[in-house]
Structure formats: C-alpha cells, structure tokens
C-alpha cells in the first residue's frame, strides 16, 4: 500500500504488507503516531487504536512481518503475559516498541529481557517518537536480538524411520495451524523428498543461499525460498548425483543463525546422522527431534545419538519420536523394551498408518491436513515444539549391557 493509499484509506483491514505497525490505546496517542509517520513520509504503515490483543490478532494474520511494531500496554491487565502471547506470533526480526503509562525501571528491564527494544512512557510527542523510533540518531536501530527462532534438527536413528515425514508435517502444521513463520530445509543436496511431499518445485535455493549467506535480507530470502501458503518457506537443492561439491559447513552454520532472526522455526530434515554437516546442525539446534523405531539396531543408534546431543558443550534437549513406519511383526521390540533399552520414554509415539502416509506422500497434501490417528500424533509433536517444556532428562544412564536383547546381540557379534 502506498503512502497516499494508506493515508486515504485508513480503515482497510489487513494490508498485503506493512513496514510499520502501531496499536495505541487512546485516540490522542494514535493521532500523534499518525502525525509522526506522516512527517517521516513512512510508506506501508498500519496505525490503529487498539490493545495488545488486537496487535496479536493482526500480527498472526500478516503474511510478511513488519520492520517495527509499536504496541500500547496502558489498558492491559496482564501486560507481560499478553506480550508473551504477542511474541509467539511476532517473527524474531521485528523490532518491538512498547508504550505505557508507568515510568518504571523494573518493568523496562523485564521488557528488555523479553526482547522488547524500547519502552516509551506517555504522553507521546513527535520529538520523543523521532528520537526513539526513527530518524537520524534514533535509539532503536539496530535491533538487539534477544528473541531468535528455534532450530529443530530432525534426524533419524536409521534410514527410512520417518524423518522427512515428521519434518514436513510438523513444519506444515506450525505454519498453517499455529500461525508461525517456518523455514524448512531439506539438507539432502542431491534432491530430498521435501518438494514431492509438499507439492512444490525445487529451485535449487539452498545451494544459492549457501554461496551468498552474507546477502541474506528479506528480499533475497523471498527470491530464493519456495513459499507455500505465506508462512511456510522451503530451501532445497537438487545437485547432479555425480556432483563433487561438499556442503559448506561454515556457511550452513551462518545460514541457520541468520534464518533464526527471520523465522520462528528453522526445521531441518537431515538425510544423515553422521558427518561434519550433521554434527554442525546438531550443535546449532535448540531441539533435536530424534525419530526412531522399535528395533534393536535403531535402539543402539538412538542411544548413540542421544549421547552425541547431550554430551556436547551445548546440551541439546532431545525429543524422542518413536514411529512405526512398518507393520509390526513378531520379531519387533515392544515399545516398553525399546524405551528400557534406550533409558528413556518416547516423547511421542506415532502409529502405523500406511494409507495416510502413502496417500500424503504420493498425492498430497501432508498427513496433518487430514484427521486420522497419525495426523493427530504429528500435530501433537508440532504443538509440543511450539509450547510445552520438553522432558530432556534421561530416566537413567543407558547401558547396552542392561538389555537382554541387546546383550544377546553384542555377545553374538563378539
């Protein structure tokens, strides 16, 4: 929306893009901010009378996050928890400025801790806003980045356990049903399944972006990612199978930390559980979604991966997802034995559902768009990542020798 349009048509509901968004509790403050925006010739503004809840509802609908959000807590009964709810729908890159009536250092500190960039107490004046919000010598630029997104590393204890299924569905659910901005990276440089699972076309954006990490701004990101419904963005590559190019691990680390500034979730579908690129992702992750299945081999590899995630400097919580990608037979480990063997309970158990999984894989849309038991279980994984605290403490130290089946296997191999 142009400046003229935005001034001539102030009641338009949700603009396609807004660079500066403000919700003020009273008419006088709203007018002051409007005059400030006009004086600074700000394009793409959205300034309304409203409270934190109005701002939260608006931000959840907005497809592209603004540069700056001004929100007024003077009518909020529970300002901090209302702001926490706002932070949930507000991409980490947004500079948030809070307006209030109290001039209180304790409150200011608390707000800074939450990632708010500035607190301004009323009454508002154009001079004050210019000094603190914009114009030469403004206090608020650059943003100090307290809020950053979460990297979720999806890794499998062995091949074919359902890592890509979990990554695709959790990303889809968080973007479509929980209103989070999500970027999903298929880390298989030779063409992983993500484009097929989500019905998109590979544009080789991952290779491109790894070569130009330093140039990663909003416009470049929009050009290199494939967008799916406004909140989900995909980065994939499809190098020739005989391409010798290795993954640039330093660039990958940089890419992830840059993406975390722009998205609530960076979800990586890892094709391997070993090697330098895999280790870098596990190290950078805020959560490792470890997908496994109840088999002896998967139990051994699960235990090894848990040890890797938990003994590194950055202790990463592990969400253990026990999937059943195959119909269980008589030789399978019972879930209880499996949990006993790895020394912890699964955070989530996904049921076997061949029809839903293969329909989603071959025809689309992803499983979570349907209603079956597998869809519900996958949604719960996403909800867990979006909110509930993860239980990351092992029940007890794991030892292979404790489990009769594994002991038998080790003795047999010795």
Ligand X SMILES: Nc1ncnc2c1ncn2[C@@H]1O[C@H](COP(=O)(O)OP(=O)(O)OP(=O)(O)O)[C@@H](O)[C@H]1O
Nearest distance in Å: CB 306, ligand X: 17
Nearest distance in Å: CB 160, ligand X: 4
Judged by CB under 6 A, the chain residues 164 through 193 that form the site for ligand X are: 164-165, 193
- DSSP assignment of 165-204, as one string? HHHHHHHHHHHHTS---EEEEE--TBT-SHHHHHT-----
**At 91, is the secondary structure helix, strand, or coil?**
coil
* CB closer to ligand X, 203 vs 324: 324
Round to the nearest angstrom and report the end-to-end CA distance of the chain. 71
Name the binder of 354 from ligand X, Mg ion, none, CB < 5-8 A by kind. ligand X
Collect all residues with Cβ–Cβ distance below 8 Å to 123 and sequence separation of at least 6. 28, 29
Q: Is 361 a residue that touches ligand X (CB under 6 A)?
A: yes
Name the binder of 372 from Mg ion, ligand X, none, CB < 5-8 A by kind. none
**At 72, is the secondary structure helix, strand, or coil?**
strand
Nearest distance in Å: CB 156, Mg ion: 7
Nearest distance in Å: CB 195, Mg ion: 12
Nearest distance in Å: CB 358, ligand X: 6
Q: Residue 288: what are its φ and ψ, rounded to 5°?
A: -105, 115
Choose, by CB under 5 A, the member of 164, 292, 295, 356 that binds Mg ion.
Answer: 164
Judged by CB under 6 A, the chain residues 323 through 352 that form the site for ligand X are: 323-325, 350, 352
Nearest distance in Å: CB 155, ligand X: 9
Torsion-angle region of residue 282: left (phi > 0), alpha (psi -120 to 50) or beta?
alpha
Judged by CB under 6 A, the chain residues 289 through 328 that form the site for ligand X are: 323-325
Burial of 245 (0-12, 13-18, 19+ CB in 10 A): exposed
Number of residues binding to ligand X, judged by CB under 6 A: 21
Judged by CB under 6 A, the chain residues 131 through 160 that form the site for ligand X are: 156, 159-160
Tell me the β-bridge partners of 153.
268, 288
Taking the C-alpha atoms of residue 149 and residue 286, their distance in angstroms, rounded to an integer, is 9
Binding site for ligand X (CB under 6 A): 156, 159-165, 193, 271, 323-325, 350, 352-354, 357-358, 361, 374
Positions that interact with Mg ion (CB under 5 A): 163-164
């Amino acid at each position: 929306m142009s400046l003229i349009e935005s001034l001539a048509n102030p009641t338009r509901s949700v603009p396609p893009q807004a660079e500066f968004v403000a919700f003020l509790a009273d008419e006088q403050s709203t007018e002051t901010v409007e005059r400030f925006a006009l004086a600074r010739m700000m394009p793409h503004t959205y300034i309304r009378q409203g409270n934190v809840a109005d701002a939260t509802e608006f931000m959840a609908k907005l497809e592209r996050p603004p540069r700056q959000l001004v929100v007024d807590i003077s009518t909020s009964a529970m300002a901090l928890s209302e702001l926490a709810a706002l932070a949930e729908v507000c991409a980490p890159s947004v500079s948030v400025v809070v307006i209030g009536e109290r001039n209180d250092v304790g409150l200011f500190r608390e707000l800074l801790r939450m990632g708010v960039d500035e607190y301004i107490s009323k009454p508002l004046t154009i001079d004050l806003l210019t000094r603190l919000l914009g114009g030469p010598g403004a206090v608020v630029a650059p943003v100090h980045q307290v809020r950053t997104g979460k990297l979720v590393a999806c890794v499998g204890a062995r091949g074919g356990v359902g890592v890509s299924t979990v990554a695709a569905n959790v990303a889809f659910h968080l973007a479509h049903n929980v209103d989070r901005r999500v970027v999903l990276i298929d880390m298989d440089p030779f063409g992983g399944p993500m484009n097929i699972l989500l019905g998109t076309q590979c544009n080789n954006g991952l290779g491109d972006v790894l070569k130009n990490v330093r140039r990663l701004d909003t416009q470049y990101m929009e050009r290199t990612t494939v967008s799916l419904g406004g909140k989900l963005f995909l980065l994939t590559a499809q190098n020739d199978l005989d391409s010798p190019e290795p993954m640039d691990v330093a660039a990958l680390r940089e890419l992830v930390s840059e993406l975390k500034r722009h998205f609530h979730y960076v979800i990586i579908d890892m094709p391997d559980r070993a090697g330098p690129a895999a280790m870098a992702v596990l190290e950078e992750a805020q959560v490792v979604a470890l997908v496994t299945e109840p088999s002896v081999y998967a139990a051994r590899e699960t235990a090894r991966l848990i040890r890797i995630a938990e003994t590194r400097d950055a202790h990463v919580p592990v969400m253990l997802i026990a999937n059943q990608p195959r119909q269980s037979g008589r030789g399978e480990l019972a879930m209880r034995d499996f949990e006993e063997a790895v020394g912890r309970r699964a955070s989530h158990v996904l049921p076997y559902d061949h029809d839903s999984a293969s329909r989603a894989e071959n025809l689309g849309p992803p499983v979570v768009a349907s209603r079956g038991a597998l869809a519900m279980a996958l949604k719960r994984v996403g909800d867990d990542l979006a909110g509930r605290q993860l239980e990351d403490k092992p029940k007890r130290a794991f030892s292979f020798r404790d489990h009769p089946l594994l002991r038998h296997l080790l003795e047999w191999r010795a």
